[in-house]
Structure 1
Amino acid sequence: MTRKLVDVAAGVLLRPDGRYLLGQRGPDTVYAGYWEFPGGKVEPGETPSQALCRELDEELGIRVTRLRPWLRREHLYEHAHVRLHFFEVCAWEGSLDDKVHSALDWVEPAAATREPMLPANGPILKALRLPRTMGITEATRMGVDAQLEALDRALDAGLRLVQVREAGLAADARIRFAREVLARTRDRGGLVVINDDIELAQMIGADGVHLPARRLMALSQRPAFEWVGASCHDRAELEHAAALMLDYALLSPVLATDSHPGEPTLGWGDFRALSEGLPMPVLALGGLKPDDMETARDAGAHGIAGIRGIWAAGA
Structure 2
Amino acid sequence: MTKLVQVAVAILTKPNGEYLLASRPNGKGWAGWWEFPGGKIESGETPEHALIRESQEELGVTPTQIQPWIKRRYDYPATHDAEAKTVLLHFFFVHAWQGDLTAREGQQFAWQHPRNLNVSPVLPANAPIMQALSLPPIYAISNLQEMGEAAFLHALKQQLDQGLQLLQIREPQLDSEALAQLSEQVLKLCAAYNCRCLLNGSPEQAQQLGYQGVHLNSQRLMALTQKPENLLVGGSCHDIAQLQQTQALQLDFALLSPVLPTKSHPEAAGLGWEKFGEMLNGLETPVYGLGGMRPAHLSQAQACGARGISMQRALW
Specify the code of the residue in structure 1 equivalent to 2:128: P
Matching residue of 2:199? 194
Instruction: Give the C-alpha shift of residue 306 in structure 1.
Output: 0.8
Q: Any idea what SS the aligned residue of 2:108 has?
A: strand
CA contact (8 A) 1:72 1:278 kept: no
Structure 1, unpaired ranges of 5+:
none
CA contact (8 A) 2:68 2:93 kept: yes
Instruction: Give the C-alpha shift of residue 200 in structure 1.
Output: 1.5
Separation of aligned partners in 1, 2:211 and 2:289: 23
Q: Aligned pair 1:182/2:187, yes or no? A: yes
Separation of aligned partners in 2, 1:67 and 1:29: 27
Matching residue of 1:210? 215
Matching residue of 1:23? 22
Instruction: Give the C-alpha shift of residue 85 in structure 1.
Output: 3.5
Aligned length: 310
Q: Aligned pair 1:254/2:253, yes or no? A: no
Query: Which residue of 108, 111, 133 corresponds with 1:103?
Result: 108
Instruction: Give the C-alpha shift of residue 18 in structure 1.
Output: 2.8
Cα RMSD of the aligned pairs, angstroms, is 2.7
Query: Which residue of 121, 129, 132 corresponds with 1:127?
Result: 132
Q: Aligned pair 1:146/2:145, yes or no? A: no
Structure 2, unpaired ranges of 5+:
79-83
Mark the CA change 1:207 to 1:99 in structure 2 (over 3 Å): closer, same or farther.
same
CA contact (8 A) 1:68 1:300 kept: no
Matching residue of 1:118? 123
Q: Aligned pair 1:158/2:163, yes or no? A: yes
Greater shift, 99-108 or 57-66, is seen at 57-66
Greater shift, 120-129 or 181-190, is seen at 120-129
Separation of aligned partners in 2, 1:303 and 1:272: 12
Instruction: Give the C-alpha shift of residue 35 in structure 1.
Output: 1.3
Instruction: Give the C-alpha shift of residue 41 in structure 1.
Output: 3.7
Greater shift, 288-297 or 187-196, is seen at 288-297
Matching residue of 2:81? none
Q: Any idea what SS the aligned residue of 1:253 has?
A: coil
Per-residue CA deviation, residues 245-266 of structure 1 (Å, 9 max, x unaligned), is 2222222212222212232122
Instruction: Give the C-alpha shift of residue 231 in structure 1.
Output: 1.5
CA contact (8 A) 1:208 1:226 kept: yes
Q: Any idea what SS the aligned residue of 1:294 has?
A: helix
CA contact (8 A) 2:234 2:254 kept: yes
Specify the code of the residue in structure 1 equivalent to 2:39: G
CA contact (8 A) 2:280 2:304 kept: no
Q: Aligned pair 1:264/2:263, yes or no? A: no
Specify the code of the residue in structure 2 equivalent to 1:16: P
Q: Any idea what SS the aligned residue of 1:90 has?
A: strand
Q: Any idea what SS the aligned residue of 2:119 has?
A: coil
Greater shift, 274-283 or 72-81, is seen at 72-81
CA contact (8 A) 1:23 1:101 kept: no
CA contact (8 A) 1:253 1:286 kept: yes
Using structure 1 for the length normalisation, give the TM-score: 0.85
Matching residue of 1:12? 11
Matching residue of 1:68? 67
Instruction: Give the C-alpha shift of residue 210 in structure 1.
Output: 1.3
Using structure 2 for the length normalisation, give the TM-score: 0.85
Query: Which residue of 260, 275, 300 corresponds with 2:305?
Result: 300
Identity fraction in percent: 45
Instruction: Give the C-alpha shift of residue 132 in structure 1.
Output: 1.4
